[in-house]
Amino acid sequence: MAFPGEFSEAYRTLNLNEGKGKFVDYLAQKADIVVRFNGGNNAGHTINADGIKYKFKLMPSGAPLEKICVIANGCVIDPKVLLEEIESLKKSKGYLWWNQKK
């Protein structure tokens, strides 16, 4: 767990897929909140959690780890892809915690 005011950040430093996924997955395991802050669904990432392989294009890597996940305003959202990924999580976990502020 992070201490108040402590944060970790991983971001793309090269133009191609440079294999940062394992590093991001490592950070997500230790984080309270996982944020996807830019990009779209043109490339994906695979997460292995609890013996289940998840393939996401939009969902932050902390989702199968039951972390608080945020898709920030810098992301391009394809609603169809996002709903498919949400349904995938529901099927594998049996539930999906969702908090919408009103």
What CATH number should be reported for the domain holding residue 54?
A: 3.40.440.10
Domain holding 73, by residue range, is 21-93
Check residue 53 and give its pLDDT.
85
pLDDT of the residue at 79 = 94
In a 13 Å sphere around the CA of 35, the CA atoms on its Cβ side amount to 11
Which residues in the chain land under pLDDT 70? 1-20, 94-102
Locate all alpha helices (DSSP H) within 1-102, ordered by sequence: 21-30, 79-93
**What per-residue confidence (pLDDT) applies to 95?**
61
Paired with 56 in beta bridges are 45
Six-digit token string for 73: 């305003």
Q: Is the pTM of this model over 0.85?
A: no
Task: Let me know if residue 45 belongs to a domain.
Answer: yes
